[in-house]
Amino acid sequence: MYKGVFTALITPFNRDGSVDAEALKDFVEFQIAGGVSGLVPVGTTGESPTVSHDENVTVVQIVVEQAKKRVPVIAGTGSNSTAEAIAMTVRAKEIGADATLQVTPYYNKPSQEGIYRHFTAIADAAGLPMIIYNIAGRTAKNIENDTMLRLAAHPKIVAVKEASGDLAQVMDLRRRKPADFDILSGDDNLGLPIIALGGTGIISVASNIIPAKMEKLVRLCLEGKMEEARELHYELLPFFKTLFIETNPIPVKYAASLLGKCAPIYRLPMCEMDETKKAAMKKALQDLKLL
């Protein structure tokens, strides 16, 4: 079962634009010390659209080697090309990743049958446990529950990172899903309600900055301590909102830079925020007593 907080890791870059391996290793240690349940390198938060396939595999390898099996590593190796996703996922398995995160194919907008065949082909070929990432806001295609339930029957397809934003869809899936298929929130804002509805955790952006607080929030929810969980949720809610004042991962990477975890460097078309939004992020961190 995939239960707890799994950090959707940022990818630190050097001033020359290359991957900053040392900052990434230090960041893995920061996350593990904060009590997270797992690490998810090279998802959207890791700037997967602008790293090369070789860099994608390299980042996964750095995280796997630094984690040393203390927590599972769920490798972001998705693509809108099924063949590319298979190739990167096979490599991730070879270097020791524990599972893979696979996003809905984007831009080419496959049918529900195409979505089913895409994920099934990867699961069949790569042999890693798979978490499916459903985020229509970035991919233009929602995975309908009937399709998700077909996929959940595959022995290697074990969970969904649910970021449709539709709690009715989440409830219907929870009611109908098999017992061995997990629902993880893909949105920090909705972590508490999704866990309350039967989800098992969060693949989190916020935990890049506040891993211990996110671990506590999810643990309280899972333990049914909802009054305490709600209090912490509302304490953190302004920070959750500030993380999305600009396209992810621009705000979270800037926040990490303010804490000295990485340089505020992006790859185009991602670029820095304006000064007003930077000030808002500084205030959010000050309110959490992190600055």
DSSP-assigned states of every residue in 43-103: SGGGTGGGS-HHHHHHHHHHHHHHHTTSS-BEEE---SSHHHHHHHHHHHHHTT-SEEEEE
Q: Using one digit for the tens of pLDDT, what is the confidence trace for 221-270? A: 999 999 999 999 999 999 999 999 999 999 999 999 999 999 999 999 99
Residue 29 falls inside a structural domain: yes
**pLDDT of the residue at 108:** 94
**Beta carbons of 182 and 2 less than 8 angstroms apart:** yes
C-alpha 60/C-alpha 40 separation (Å) is 9
Q: How many domains does the chain have?
A: 1
Q: Which amino acid is present at 185?
A: S
Report d(CA 98, CA 131) in Å as an integer. Answer: 11
149 found inside a domain: yes
The pTM of this model reads 0.96
Query: Quick one: DSSP state of residue 208?
Result: G
**Could you tell me if residue 229 is inside a domain?**
no
Residue 17 in any domain: the answer is yes
CA dihedral 161, 48, 92, 158 (to 10 degrees): 10
What pLDDT score does 175 carry?
Answer: 98
- Of 2, 116, 141, 161, which is the active-site residue? 161
pLDDT band at 27 (very low <50, low <70, confident <90, very high): very high
How many helices, marked H, and strands, marked E, lie in the chain? 12, 8
Sheet holding 201-204, edge to edge: 38-40, 4-8, 201-204, 182-185, 157-162, 130-134, 99-103, 74-76
106 is catalytic: no
Segment 114-169, tens digit of pLDDT: 999 999 999 999 999 999 999 999 999 999 999 999 999 999 999 999 999 999 99
Give CA–CA dist 165/187, Å, rounded. 8
In a domain, 252, yes or no: no
pLDDT tens-digit readout, 82-113: 999 999 999 999 999 999 999 999 999 999 99
Catalytic site residue from 133, 177, 213, 254: 133
Q: Return the pLDDT at 91.
A: 97
Domain that holds residue 99: 4-224
Domain membership flag for residue 290: no
CA-only gyration radius of the chain, Å: 18
Three-class secondary structure of residue 177 per DSSP? coil
Q: Which residue has the tokens 């185009």?
A: 268
With beta carbons less than 8 A apart as the criterion, state whether 70 and 32 touch. yes
218 neighbors 38 (Cβ within 8 angstroms)? no
Q: Residue 10 has what pLDDT?
A: 98
CATH of the domain at 186: 3.20.20.70
Give the pLDDT mean for 54-72: 97
With a CB cutoff of 8 Å and minimum separation 6, the contacts of 139 are 103, 104, 105, 106, 107
- Is 116 an annotated catalytic residue? no
Percent of the chain with pLDDT over 70: 100
**What is the band of 1 on the pLDDT scale with cuts at 50, 70, 90?**
confident
Mean pLDDT, residues 17-43: 98
pLDDT band at 176 (very low <50, low <70, confident <90, very high): very high
Does residue 251 lie within any of the structural domains?
no
